[in-house]
Amino acid sequence: MNSQYTAKDFKNEQQIKWCPGCGDFAVLNCLHKAMSEIGVAPADTAVISGIGCSSRLPYYMGTYGFHTIHGRGSAIATGVKVANPALSVWQITGDGDCLAIGGNHFIHAVRRNIDINIVLLNNKIYGLTKGQYSPTTERGYVTKSSPYGTIEDPFNPAELAFGARANFFARTIDVDLPSTTECMIAAAAHKGTAVIEVLQNCVIFTDGIHKYYSDKENRADRTIYLRQGEKMIFGKESNKGLVLQGLDLKAVTIGEDGYTIDDILTHDATLHDPTLHCKLAAMEGPELPLALGIIRNVEGINYDQAVVDQIHRVQANTQIKTFADLMMSGNVWEVK
Amino acid sequence: MNSQYTAKDFKNEQQIKWCPGCGDFAVLNCLHKAMSEIGVAPADTAVISGIGCSSRLPYYMGTYGFHTIHGRGSAIATGVKVANPALSVWQITGDGDCLAIGGNHFIHAVRRNIDINIVLLNNKIYGLTKGQYSPTTERGYVTKSSPYGTIEDPFNPAELAFGARANFFARTIDVDLPSTTECMIAAAAHKGTAVIEVLQNCVIFTDGIHKYYSDKENRADRTIYLRQGEKMIFGKESNKGLVLQGLDLKAVTIGEDGYTIDDILTHDATLHDPTLHCKLAAMEGPELPLALGIIRNVEGINYDQAVVDQIHRVQANTQIKTFADLMMSGNVWEVK
Amino acid sequence: MNEQVKVKELDSVVIRFSGDSGDGMQLVGNIFSNLAAILGNEISTFPDYPAEMRAPQGSLAGVSGFQVHLGASKVLTPGDKADVLVAMNPAALKVNKNFLKPQCVVIIDEDSFTENDLKKALFQTNDPFQELDLKNVQVISVPITSMTKAGLESYGLDNKSAVRCKNMFALGLICWLFNRPIDSVTPFLKKKFSKKETIMQANIKALTDGYNFGANTHATVTTYHIETNEHPKKGFYTDINGNTATAYGLIAAAEKSGLPLFLGSYPITPATDILHELAKRKDLGVKTVQCEDEISGICTAIGASFAGNLAATSTSGPGLALKGEAIGLAVMAEIPLVIVDVQRGGPSTGLPTKTEQSDLMQALYGRNGESPVVVIAATTPTNCFDAAYWSSKLAVEHMTPVILLTDGFIANGSSTWRIPDLNVYPSITPPFVPDSIKDIWKPYLRNEDTKVRYWAVPGREGFEHRIGGLEKDYTTGVISTDPLNHQIMTDTRQEKIDKIADFIPELKVEGSVDSDILVVGWGGTYGHLSSAVNSMNASGKKIAHVHFEFINPLPKNTHEVLSQYKKIIVCELNLGQFAGYLRMKYPEIRIDQYNKVQGQPFMVSELIDRFTKLMEEK
Amino acid sequence: MNEQVKVKELDSVVIRFSGDSGDGMQLVGNIFSNLAAILGNEISTFPDYPAEMRAPQGSLAGVSGFQVHLGASKVLTPGDKADVLVAMNPAALKVNKNFLKPQCVVIIDEDSFTENDLKKALFQTNDPFQELDLKNVQVISVPITSMTKAGLESYGLDNKSAVRCKNMFALGLICWLFNRPIDSVTPFLKKKFSKKETIMQANIKALTDGYNFGANTHATVTTYHIETNEHPKKGFYTDINGNTATAYGLIAAAEKSGLPLFLGSYPITPATDILHELAKRKDLGVKTVQCEDEISGICTAIGASFAGNLAATSTSGPGLALKGEAIGLAVMAEIPLVIVDVQRGGPSTGLPTKTEQSDLMQALYGRNGESPVVVIAATTPTNCFDAAYWSSKLAVEHMTPVILLTDGFIANGSSTWRIPDLNVYPSITPPFVPDSIKDIWKPYLRNEDTKVRYWAVPGREGFEHRIGGLEKDYTTGVISTDPLNHQIMTDTRQEKIDKIADFIPELKVEGSVDSDILVVGWGGTYGHLSSAVNSMNASGKKIAHVHFEFINPLPKNTHEVLSQYKKIIVCELNLGQFAGYLRMKYPEIRIDQYNKVQGQPFMVSELIDRFTKLMEEK
Ligand SMILES: Cc1ncc(C[n+]2csc(CCOP(=O)(O)OP(=O)(O)O)c2C)c(N)n1
Ligand SMILES: Cc1ncc(C[n+]2csc(CCOP(=O)(O)OP(=O)(O)O)c2C)c(N)n1
Ligand code: SF4
Ligand code: SF4
Ligand SMILES: [Mg+2]
Ligand SMILES: [Mg+2]
């Protein structure tokens, strides 16, 4: 893009207070970079967050920012966007902030399809409060609040988002900066709620939790980066691919068992029916690669625009232009 | 079943205060009937609700009951069940109570798979507060709070439940008493969170909203009642069926276009993969019939049982049996 | 009873229309009060719905009433008891038995007083009047249903539609009773039934039949003649309830301040009509988001405020409880926000359709930490307009959340309202950062006089900044955990609110200013307290009245006013919250209390009794 | 400085361990205080974490401290200022500069005072002591890091692991300074590193090296000898912080009442440790549900209470705000519930890791409607046990929600605790409906003495019933909108709480009971107020002290006590909430205030100053 901005325009001088090595740093850098490419002025950008380590991010932005209260980021961002649709509105949130206390606002923002971009930093833990399990923590995981292991299954953020009828969902890993940046740029281009889940490493409480997928060495074999219109191919040698068998996705090796490149699925993030997106988002190792990239990207009516449209429609057909007009439009009599 | 109870044992003398003709009456009757067949004593049954017309239901039960606050039924029912797993716990809720203010507790109860039965009376409106749109109201619908039509798409409760990883989901129509009763009985038998969506008519604010599907005349053609292990057949003449084409469900007529009974899908509510259940639940007219009956019914670990199991496991391996034991187990010194 | 036609000349009269929920009593009540207002009467009305749920037809729980008080000069309440009751069925009679004046007129629909109807209303005998011990009443028993049907035979209506017109027959009767020309009614019916010509005609016919029946009948009763106000202030008038007035106040403030209006809300009785009213106002560009819950209601509003709108959220008590945490955020972020709480009977779900003043302490203190906000209480249905306007003004100009307390009584009650001229309302000037101080500006730079920070709205270049709920450094606005700074910020937030006392009107004592006794009230009890005080003064019992609209901060002359009276009695519809608050602020002032927690407004008569007793006490 | 070894005999001493978050200061602080306690000292400790977020290594924001106050007899606070500071880096020195006594000893790790380290702590020069104007201190500068490493060469540890042992070297030094035998330390290390033999040995080695360094060094300083308490009460002792004591109090109450314990909670600083502690107690059958939010936390607890458990929920201020609506439900439903609020700095997110007493008003009034609850405030870390026990007892026996207020200071602070004998604690008897009254029982049938309704727990045949948040009929318990009934129920709910005054201990005045001046406090300021008062009385300045643990209802003799003093000063860590509450209740009593809102506890010295001034005022 031809943006007049550089990443520096989106930074500020605040001392950053995450633990050295925290995955949040990478996400912050990506956001600076992405915004510089998106080309909306810092003054026209608002970054909203709740509470959590991840939610501190707005302090490190050179834009307008609001570090609000725990879990309410989606609702507050909704208000910002509806009040002033000209702003580019971002919500930064964590797995606790977004999916525990903030779950309801999240699913309703997604359902309404407000044009905000939600960056969900998923470290599968409550970092800020020093290590309790979150709604994305795997069953059995031992944390300060689950000394004998948790006894609940986690949400898959993508599944929940699709259950709430999400039109845009992307997934990336903190260590993969170019992809994260790319997904952020795409999210900004999408009109409606865009959710980007970033698998983020917490060096203190869940160090290595995403290692199985994020390790440089195995990443190519254990993840697949989906690209619009391209074959679903992965693997160190780009020789593995995904095929559909009945309703099941299967990973195959091209050239083995009679599979050719033509058998491999082509990614279409714009399919209206979310079934395949949902299946892709649900893939897990070791049988299947973890899906990364933009899994779904569908156009829909976005709420903030619909508000504006409805106002225009009504205003085109009314005599009531001012408070005084309104007053005289009712059941009024005059005393002379 | 061989229950010692009759419906009467689950009723009480309170004057019922729903509008004459309200669909809630039918659901109440079904619940009385279902409970009498389930065979759990009224004293061992707790019916919990939030606020709404539908949420008044506990007052009309001969069981223990708690009419709580708006949206919190799932959380309160969770507490009841975890505190005393021996109770049969039911939550009665409406589309507003459950999916607007109560959305977060609902998805988390479903995720945790607490063994409660949630009866969701969906009339696509806030009845008690006299007619505002709800999260299940169709886009464009005019209500008191949307004088120019709503500008949001609704949730499909099934999709949201599946997004939260529901193991049991059934759908029925208020006027179909036997099916509703049957689904309630199955929900009670299921260990874990069971959601039953009842399409309920509000004679005051959304009269006829479910008519397209509920009308006696067309019901057979416009809905399909799914039964475990049976072919997915519907229609007045039982000659229509569902087939899968790629990832799409299609309604066909048996004997036409070369389709035979063998092509028709067989319903298996116990499939672990929710994909097909999700597709079935998402079906809509006019192309496809609305799915009724038990759409998904899968076994999983339920939370309240897991709590008990974990306690037993820990207790089997500890010397700490009393408060006094606990006190002496730490870093203790004696002053003599 | 029933002697001959006498025309009573009255100063004011209270009429209560009562019937089953389906009988259309709200409609006739509304029409009649409008009519009266147009003809130059002052009015005050109050609808008395059954609880939210519909109850069986004919049952006590299903009774729906509408009371209107009309008079020649200022009418302050809808009245304690009725001079005339229209009871469309036995349940309506029973429910209202304690609200009838001696010698009042009761009009009943004979056709609905059958044995069956009496049973539904749980009467034991066939003589409801005797059973209720109603002796001194003038009963006009009219076969309203059958006469309505008979009169409409030629209209080709089905039975149900014809019967539905019986409320108009009743209205016709009342018009006769009060010397009101029925042609003034027809415009209302024409508007209401504009799309149903036959129904409109049928309604007019029933109305006329009712009027004529009254005029022709030999069963004569007192009829009434109310003076009309000869010299009302010139201008345009309408009749308005408190919720609508609140909505209009916000709209007016938005227009005056030049800020777009945003409402984030979740439906809840009895506040929902504010949302309904504002949702209609797309014509004026009002944005309403019906949220998933109350927390989202206030949080969307906080977001909208951050983005530069005049932001409001509306709710009732349980909803306010849910908003507490977010109000704290608005306190800390120092952004404008109007929070409307239409109080209802509590605690918990309580009595959702009833009125109460029991959210005062919650409004003042229902949040963690030291988090002062402005609290304003509207006094009457029409005052809701001014109170909402003032709430917006203070919120915007002082960068603070303002909680506006109204209540179920004034929210649903209505009175005549002279349409305001916005030009004479004080201006509302958002404290936008002037470009001139760009160099020294920091997000929490304050006007040192008012302690108000400057507002830099997103979209403005060069003022990008971050705010949040953590404590901030007084000078730089960045997060600070410094102990002394926290003290300074805490004191400053308090001082900012305290200083608002310089910007609000002082108290004005009404009644006999120089008496020994001062009646103190706040919010929605104004009408009743004022009526009681006026009536006592009129009968020579000197008593003064002061009424609080501004609760936090209190008006500057509060102490001065209170300290001038020997006896002070604080009257409120709770267990004494405002009394406690005053004691906290002015422990040296001795205060008596009069409290009532019954889901009902005061009765003027009980107030007069209490005040008279207080006078007599040594 | 640095003359020769002197042994100082002291009554009490304050030691502060301070370093970077990663330096293990909490661990050595803990071990040292345990050690002291075991050797017969009274202790009071307070960890002073940085804000929740980790800050860059070596930065001011990253400093983590642990203060311990040990003494021969009752030690009431962790102490205002330190006699000895261990500063592992320049940042630690800087952060603590205002908390040092004159002539105190400062031990620094020479290796961490390089130019680079000084820069990280924003020093301008190379002489930090001069720059901070610290003159009257005795500095022991020891190359702790390098000596630790040198001592561990033979252990085959990587550099990081070896350096990590430096905290033990420092501990060894301190043991030497305080004449503490280091063999008492080894059991702690054995336990802590039981699974890592080499690490354990390395730690012991570093400890010994530190001790020996002290003993052998020629850089002599004052060393200390603290008397040990000769006659402590016999029994078993441990050392406990307030959050753990709170958890234990609930466990004890559950055992005594025979009810299973249930906690529904959502993590929040500084309350989370209560959840952690109870989550561990599966052995005792405790059920904890970590909920999706605070509302679910309290709602699951309400459900558990309905189902017959002893139910609790734990949170801090912002979480309490979210629970307001549900507390109202518990009030209306009249079920037992303990709500623990560990207060922190507010408003909004405020100062999450700091202490404050600013949730009092919220606890009393933060809900819609007239909804009285019991409010109790714990006074010290160990008193949290009793306060939690009492909260449970009153909740269960009086069928009411109880809000237990603790605060960040006592929650994280710890002291020596004599392990209680549950047999001497009062019994807890749930008011289960007796079978004998089955025939007349209704869900809201009350014990007319206490106004407590009987408890019928689901599962019991013949008592099936429905309750809820709507107003109920006094006699039958079914929904009622009757005005008078609402008044009666409102009054009854209030009366039920008021009557609890009959069941709680009366106030006991401490200090010089017969002086003119009364210091009034509540909750977690007990230690500081008491220390100040004791010290003044010891120096002949007569002053009395009364401390409130029961806030609502107030103890029965409150008015009597207060009215005996000429001057009353209410001291609290807020802007005067309890003072206001007392004025509301007893307007005739004149009250002064001393307030501090700095996220910090009082300092004993500032209290003494203030009280002395008050004495001198006419
Ligand atoms: C109302 C409220 N409840 C609880 C908290 C405590 N709290 C702060 S952040 C947090 C969880 C953070 O987890 P997540 O969103 O995953 O962020 P992370 O720190 O892992 O980035 C909690 C429980 C709070 N600040 N406010
Ligand atoms: C905290 C709170 N917010 C709002 C309300 C008002 N309220 C009561 S029921 C309801 C919606 C009910 O809708 P639904 O759950 O669909 O029930 P229905 O009446 O349609 O059966 C609302 C908004 C309330 N009672 N409490
Ligand atoms: S605790 Fe974890 S998530 Fe938080 S800043 Fe440190 S590494 Fe990052
Ligand atoms: S308003 Fe609708 S949902 Fe409520 S009772 Fe009446 S018909 Fe039923
Ligand atoms: Mg996290
Ligand atoms: Mg509904």
Alpha carbon distance A17, D556 (integer Å)? 51
Residue D1 has what pLDDT? Answer: 32
Calculate mean pLDDT across residues C529-555.
97
* CA distance to C55, D340, D354, D407, D522, per residue, from D379 (Å): 53, 14, 17, 9, 7
Report whether C356 contacts C367 (CB < 8 A).
no
Alpha carbon distance D478, B59 (integer Å)? 9
Hey, is the C-beta of D321 within 8 angstroms of any chain A C-beta? Answer: no
Residue A269 has what pLDDT? Answer: 98
Residue D116, Ramachandran bin (φ over 0: left; ψ between -120 and 50: alpha; else beta): alpha
Residue C524: is it exposed, middle or buried by C-beta count within 10 angstroms (0-12/13-18/19+)?
A: buried
Lowest mean per-residue pLDDT among B17-26, C225-234, C545-554, D92-101: C225-234
For chain B, give the number of residues.
Answer: 336
Task: Convert the pLDDT of each residue in C307-317 to its tens digit.
Answer: 999 999 999 99
Residue A2 has what pLDDT? Answer: 61
| B303 found inside a domain | no
Task: Convert the pLDDT of each residue in C99-112 to its tens digit.
Answer: 898 888 899 999 99
pLDDT above 50: residue A84 = yes
Task: Convert the pLDDT of each residue in A119-128 to its tens digit.
Answer: 999 999 999 9
Backbone angles phi, psi at C543, to 5 degrees: -155, 145
Calculate mean pLDDT across residues C379-384.
97
**C578 alpha-carbon distance from chain centroid:** 19
Residue D233 has what pLDDT? Answer: 82
Q: Which residues line ligand 2 (CB under 6 A)?
A: B 51-54, 70, 94-97, 121, 123, 125-129, 134; C 266-268, 294, 318-319, 322, 349
Q: How remote is the CA of residue A122 from the centroid of ligand 5, in Å?
A: 5
Report whether A9 contacts A42 (CB < 8 A).
yes
Cross-chain residue pair A160–B164, CB shorter than 8 Å: yes
Task: Convert the pLDDT of each residue in C24-36 to its tens digit.
Answer: 898 999 888 888 8
Cross-chain residue pair A126–D267, CB shorter than 8 Å: yes
* CA distance to A322, C357, C418, per residue, from C525 (Å): 32, 9, 21
CATH number at residue A105: 3.40.50.970
> Comparing C-alpha atoms, which of C325, C351, C365 is closest to residue C408?
C351
| B325 found inside a domain | no
Q: Which numbered ligand comes closest to the C-alpha of C353?
A: 2
Cross-chain residue pair D287–B334, CB shorter than 8 Å: no
**Coil, strand or helix: which one is A268?**
coil
pLDDT above 50: residue C333 = yes
pLDDT above 70: residue D53 = no
Lowest mean per-residue pLDDT among A49-53, B72-76, C5-9, D120-124: C5-9
Residue C149's H or E segment, with its range, is helix C144-151
> Chain C: nearest CA to B21, how far in angstroms?
11
Alpha carbon distance D151, D209 (integer Å)? 7
* CA distance to B240, C585, C590, per residue, from C582 (Å): 76, 5, 10
Residue D612: is it exposed, middle or buried by C-beta count within 10 angstroms (0-12/13-18/19+)?
A: middle
Residue C4 has what pLDDT? Answer: 46
Residue D229 has what pLDDT? Answer: 65
Calculate mean pLDDT across residues A229-256.
96
Report whether D410 contacts D356 (CB < 8 A).
no
β-strand partners of C518: C544, C568
- Residues in B touching D236 (Cβ below 8 Å): 327-328, 332-335
- ipTM at complex level: 0.95
Count of alpha carbons within 13 angstroms of residue A30, beta-carbon side: 27
| A245 found inside a domain | no
pLDDT above 90: residue D452 = yes
Lowest mean per-residue pLDDT among A3-7, B244-248, C186-190, D348-352: C186-190
Residue B325 has what pLDDT? Answer: 97
Cross-chain residue pair A101–D54, CB shorter than 8 Å: no
Report whether C286 contacts B148 (CB < 8 A).
no
| A116 found inside a domain | yes
Alpha carbon distance A78, B221 (integer Å)? 41
**Preceding omega of C270 cis (within 30 degrees of 0):** yes
Cross-chain residue pair D292–A132, CB shorter than 8 Å: no
Please report, rounded to a whole number, the percentage of residues in chain C having pLDDT higher than 70: 95
pLDDT band at C3 (very low <50, low <70, confident <90, very high): very low
Average pLDDT, chain B: 97
Lowest mean per-residue pLDDT among C117-121, D28-32, D182-186: D182-186
Partner chains of C (3+ C-beta pairs under 8 Å): A, B, D
Alpha carbon distance D356, D341 (integer Å)? 11
Range of the domain at B165: 7-214
Alpha carbon distance D100, D105 (integer Å)? 9
Calculate mean pLDDT across residues B48-61.
98
> Comparing C-alpha atoms, which of A136, A119, A283 is closest to residue A209?
A136
Domain count of the fold of chain B:
1
Alpha carbon distance C301, C395 (integer Å)? 13
Average pLDDT, chain C: 92
Task: Convert the pLDDT of each residue in D513-556 to its tens digit.
Answer: 999 999 999 999 999 999 999 999 999 999 999 999 999 999 99
The residues near D133 (Cβ < 8 Å, ≥ 6 apart) are: none
Tokens representing C87?
A: 């009871």
pLDDT band at A228 (very low <50, low <70, confident <90, very high): very high
Calculate mean pLDDT across residues B187-206.
97
Residue C22 has what pLDDT? Answer: 83
The residues near B64 (Cβ < 8 Å, ≥ 6 apart) are: B42, B43, B45, B46, B47, B87, D458, D464, D465, D466
Please report, rounded to a whole number, the percentage of residues in chain B having pLDDT higher than 90: 95
Residue C446's H or E segment, with its range, is strand C446-447
pLDDT above 80: residue C371 = yes
**Coil, strand or helix: which one is D330?**
helix
In Å, the largest CA–CA distance within chain C is: 87
Domains of chain D as residue ranges with CATH? 6-226 (3.40.920.10), 238-424 (3.40.50.970), 435-503 (no CATH), 517-616 (3.40.50.920)
Calculate mean pLDDT across residues D68-80.
86
Alpha carbon distance C210, C219 (integer Å)? 14
Whether ligand 1 lies within 6 angstroms of the CB of A27 is answered as: no
Alpha carbon distance D494, B85 (integer Å)? 34
The residue contributing the CA closest to ligand 3 atom 6 is A19
Residues whose beta carbons lie less than 5 angstroms from ion ligand 6: B 94-95, 123
Alpha carbon distance D518, D505 (integer Å)? 19
Report whether A190 contacts A165 (CB < 8 A).
no
Inter-helix orientation angle A73-83/A103-112, to 10°: 30
Residue D468's H or E segment, with its range, is strand D466-468
Q: Which residues of B touch chain A, with CB atoms under 8 Å apart?
A: 100-101, 103-104, 107-108, 111-113, 135, 139, 148-149, 151-156, 159-165, 244, 246-248, 273, 275-276, 278-279, 300-301, 303, 306-307, 310, 313-314
Calculate mean pLDDT across residues D227-256.
89
| B332 found inside a domain | no
Lowest mean per-residue pLDDT among B230-234, C273-277, D134-138, D500-504: D134-138
Full strand arrangement of the beta sheet holding A233-234: A233-234, A240-245, A248-253
Residue C60 has what pLDDT? Answer: 87
Alpha carbon distance D233, B336 (integer Å)? 8
| A296 found inside a domain | no
Cross-chain residue pair A148–B113, CB shorter than 8 Å: no
Alpha carbon distance C390, C383 (integer Å)? 10
Q: How remote is the CA of residue A174 from the centroid of ligand 3, in Å?
A: 13
Residue B24 has what pLDDT? Answer: 98
Task: Convert the pLDDT of each residue in D355-367 to its tens digit.
Answer: 999 999 999 999 9
Cross-chain residue pair B133–C290, CB shorter than 8 Å: yes
Residue C186 has what pLDDT? Answer: 86
**C565 alpha-carbon distance from chain centroid:** 30
Out of B105, B310, B322, name the one closest to residue D282 (CB): B310
| A235 found inside a domain | no
| A231 found inside a domain | no
Residue C1 has what pLDDT? Answer: 32
Whether ligand 3 lies within 6 angstroms of the CB of A204 is answered as: yes
Calculate mean pLDDT across residues C427-445.
97
Average pLDDT, chain D: 92
